[in-house]
Amino acid sequence: MMLPRGRDPVIVQNMTGRYGRLHTKLMLDYGTNVAAGAAPGKGGESVEGVPVYDTVAEAVAKTKARASVCFVPAEFTLAAGVEALEAGIELLVIITEHVPIRDELKLVQLAQSKGATIIGPNCPGIIVPSEKVKLGIMPAPSFSPGNVALYSRSGTLTYEIAGELTANGHGQSVAVGIGGDPINGSTPIQWMDFVQGMEETEAVVVVGEIGGDAEERLARHIEKSGYRKPIVGYIAGRHAPKEKKMGHAGAIIYGDYGTADSKIRALTAAGVKVAKTPMDVPRLVSEALG
Amino acid sequence: MRLYEYQAKSLFKEYGLSVPKSILVHDLEGVRGAFASLAPPVAVKSQVLAGGRGKAGGIALVDDPSKAEHEAARIFALPIGGEKPASLLLEEGYPHEREMYLSVTLDRGERSYVAIAAAAGGVEVESMRGKVIRKVPVEGIDAGFAAEVASELKLPPGESSQFVKVLLSLERLAREKECELAEINPLAVGKDGTLMPLDAKVIVDDNALFRHPEFAKLHPEDEFEGEASRQGFAFVRLDGGIAVVGNGAGLVLSTLDLVGDAGGEPACFLDLGGGAQQDRVEAAIRLVNRLPGADRILVNIYGGITRSTDVAAGIRAVISGGGLKPLYARVSGAEEEEARRMLEGTAVKMYKTAPEAVAAVVKGA
């Protein structure tokens, strides 16, 4: 795991696409050092004054970037991810939605073998407000520097909760959208352990949703590892029907597997204060921080 | 995408797995003829996607044609999980001694496919005793892998060699067709020791469908779900009266919870996607405005990088077309006040927070 820091050079894959262009500008506006773009066949072009190369390897060679933000469409995400990891990218943020599960598994394996970190796919990325750096698509005004680490399986809901925290005086040390797919490049447990070691983090907010058992696993991990920082949780989907994909590929209940109740029970039993609504999160954070 | 049993079984056959002889019927007229060409007893099986079909009365075993017709009529009329079958599968019964369980499925927590097998199946996987779970490499398994599972299950030699073939075929199917789940429950063991899959459950990874055009024509589309998916919206139809529209899956899910907690019942879940451009908002509201059963619309949009005024313009475009159902909106983000002014004097009610908008739409105030 690594956090992006202030002036670290970052590349953008598929920078010349509609979203690549838009978010290259927004990342630059925020303060991210977007140093190069990669897009096959677009070498020699530029976006917002940032040079574009045909391959990630060239972009890395020119900029020494260790991080990449990937806006490549789902059909080609596996190839783009392999290209980035083979070129030495250590932090790969995949924004793309609808990546096939088997492609995600292959990327996760490759990243593990190289000691690299993937965030996503199907995620808003990562933001470190105190460093004025974001690798992703989140709206900057919702976030502010502070001591609460926030990570979440969703996008806009994260912005909403970050906005509520910000409005109530709780800035964020880091906010990560880990992704709404069944397979996450990095898991809640990995982020939990990572922020435990972050000095500037004094409380953690975990935003989950129906589907899978990531929150139940996290709850067991919290208990077993004797987690030391206060944790506030929120789980979306208490009223969701079963057997239906609710927007995210990973947000689906099968039988009793993946229900919000199961997650809320597990987290509560592990000592996490679980908010009933997103608006309730800041109050619980205030209480947790005493 | 979940396949119907008959679709999954035809996939099984394609992969060399034997299944009992069966005939699919689409109406009562076809039942007698189908029954005549099968050896009784015959199972009449509802073709629905919902689980718990047997418990709900969706399967009947019959041994004469008039009983077959009688049960078929009953099952055609029986909704299971809100879904009435468009077809029934008439299938030869398979007398057996024992039932096993076998599946290849995604273990999300382990971030791996796994094979799950149990020598005594027929019940729910969670409560199955003595089950064997093994990680399946993304590139596939070999006969040695399958033989190890068989030996862990302590199968007698005759069953073991068949089991190896079944597992190899099922894993190849799951891998090549990119399934989230390929399940045989039960895998029956006949009196002569022959293994026979009696039910088949297959869920294909929706995101991999672009590599599998063979699945594109399998499902009859619900009119609204079809249109929503063409427009790129995530859409789920629900039973209540409040159409819920928002941007981002988590945000819309949490809005459903707010509505449910306030005593309201959602008519649908519609996720525009992360952005909320004017034309997308307009198309989404037009779609849910036509949804039968929906008498009110709730819009919850977190602007983020989208300007609230774009959302307001989208709503105004629908108003100008006429016939808009009562609409309650919470739109946050840049130019919020300006957006509010744009909708002043219209029938649209604007709120500053999601809980306020939800309280109002549930009350119908």
CB-based burial label for A115 (10 Å; 0-12, 13-18, 19+): exposed
Tokens found for residue A200? 């500037």
Give the residue from B323, B343, B321 showing the smallest Cα distance to B331: B343
How far apart CA B282 and CA B298 sit, in angstroms, is 14
ipTM > 0.90? yes
Q: In whole numbers, what is the pLDDT of chain B averaged over residues?
A: 92
- Comparing alpha-carbon positions, the chain B residue that sits nearest to A99 is B207
Give the residue from B276, B281, B283, B289 showing the smallest Cα distance to B268: B289
Q: Can you give the pLDDT at residue A265?
A: 97
Q: Can you give the pLDDT at residue B306?
A: 75
Q: Can you give the pLDDT at residue A94?
A: 98
Spatial neighbors of A163 by CB under 8 A, at least 6 apart, are A141, A142, B302, B332
SS3 A223: helix
A290 min Cα distance to partner chain B (Å):
27
Given an 8 Å threshold on Cβ–Cβ distance, is B250 in contact with A158? Answer: yes
Of A102, A142, A155, nearest to B248 by CB-CB distance is A155
Is the preceding omega at residue A141 within 30 degrees of 0, hence cis? no
Whether residue B148 has pLDDT greater than 60:
yes
What interhelical angle do B157-176 and B143-152 show, nearest 10?
130
Identify the DSSP state of B215: G
* Cβ–Cβ under 8 Å, residues A247 and B268: no
Best probe of the B interface among A101, A103, A152, A279, by most B CBs < 10 A, is A101
Residues of chain A with Cβ-Cβ distance to B234 below 8 Å are 245-248
Best probe of the A interface among B235, B252, B254, B311, by most A CBs < 10 A, is B254
Residues in A 237-256 with any Cβ partner in B closer than 8 A: 237-241, 243-251, 254-256
Whether residue B122 has pLDDT greater than 60:
no
Set out the domains of chain B in order of their start, with CATH numbers.
21-92 (3.30.1490.20), 96-210 (3.30.470.20), 223-363 (3.40.50.261)
- Comparing alpha-carbon positions, the chain A residue that sits nearest to B111 is A183
Model pTM score:
0.94
Whether residue B7 has pLDDT greater than 80:
yes
pLDDT tens for each residue of B299-325:
999 987 778 888 999 999 999 888 999
- Comparing alpha-carbon positions, the chain B residue that sits nearest to A280 is B355
Residues of chain A with Cβ-Cβ distance to B254 below 8 Å are 157, 160, 234, 236-237, 277-278
How far apart CA A255 and CA B150 sit, in angstroms, is 28
Whether residue B363 has pLDDT greater than 90:
yes
| β B132-136/B179-190 pair status | unpaired
| β B201-204/B59-62 pair status | unpaired
CB hemisphere CA count around B43 (13 angstroms): 19
SS3 A289: helix
Whether residue B121 has pLDDT greater than 70:
no
**What percent of chain B is predicted at pLDDT more than 70?**
96
pLDDT tens for each residue of B329-341:
999 877 888 888 9
Size of interface A-B (CB pairs under 8 A): 173
CB hemisphere CA count around B213 (13 angstroms): 0
Identify the DSSP state of A141: G
How far apart CA B92 and CA B70 sit, in angstroms, is 17
How far apart CA B49 and CA B139 sit, in angstroms, is 29
- Assess B207–A contact: CB distance below 8 Å, yes or no: yes
Instruction: Give the torsion sign (CA, B313, A159, A258, A234).
Output: negative
Given an 8 Å threshold on Cβ–Cβ distance, is B236 in contact with A241? Answer: yes
Residues of chain A with Cβ-Cβ distance to B126 below 8 Å are 255-257
Q: Give start and end residues of each alpha helix (H) in B100-156.
A: 143-152
Give the residue from B354, B297, B301 showing the smallest Cα distance to A277: B354
How far apart CA A186 and CA A120 sit, in angstroms, is 7
Residues of chain A with Cβ-Cβ distance to B353 below 8 Å are 279
Q: Can you give the pLDDT at residue B274?
A: 67
Count CB atoms within 10 A of the CB of residue A91. 24
CB hemisphere CA count around B327 (13 angstroms): 29
* Cβ–Cβ under 8 Å, residues B302 and B352: no
pLDDT range class, residue B326, cuts 50, 70, 90: very high
Best probe of the B interface among A239, A261, A263, A274, by most B CBs < 10 A, is A239
SS3 A196: helix
Whether residue B36 has pLDDT greater than 70:
yes
Annotated catalytic sites of B, by residue? Answer: 101, 183
Is the preceding omega at residue A121 within 30 degrees of 0, hence cis? yes
Strand partners, B91: B22, B43
Query: Which strands sit side by side in the sheet containing B22-25, from one edge to the other?
Result: B22-25, B88-92, B42-46, B59-62
Q: Can you give the pLDDT at residue B82?
A: 78
- Comparing alpha-carbon positions, the chain B residue that sits nearest to A177 is B250
How far apart CA B115 and CA B111 sit, in angstroms, is 13
Given an 8 Å threshold on Cβ–Cβ distance, is A158 in contact with B256? Answer: no
State in Å, rounded, how far the first CA of chain A is from the last one.
30
pLDDT tens for chain A, 290 residues long, are 778 998 999 999 999 999 999 999 999 999 999 999 999 999 999 999 999 999 999 999 999 999 999 999 999 999 999 999 999 999 999 999 999 999 999 999 999 999 999 999 999 999 999 999 999 999 999 999 999 999 999 989 999 999 999 999 999 999 999 999 999 999 999 999 999 999 999 999 999 999 999 999 999 999 999 998 999 999 999 999 988 899 998 999 888 889 999 999 999 999 999 999 999 999 999 999 98
Residues in A 69-108 with any Cβ partner in B closer than 8 A: 74-75, 98-102, 105-106, 108
B339 min Cα distance to partner chain A (Å):
18
Residues in A 38-67 with any Cβ partner in B closer than 8 A: none
How far apart CA B96 and CA B93 sit, in angstroms, is 9
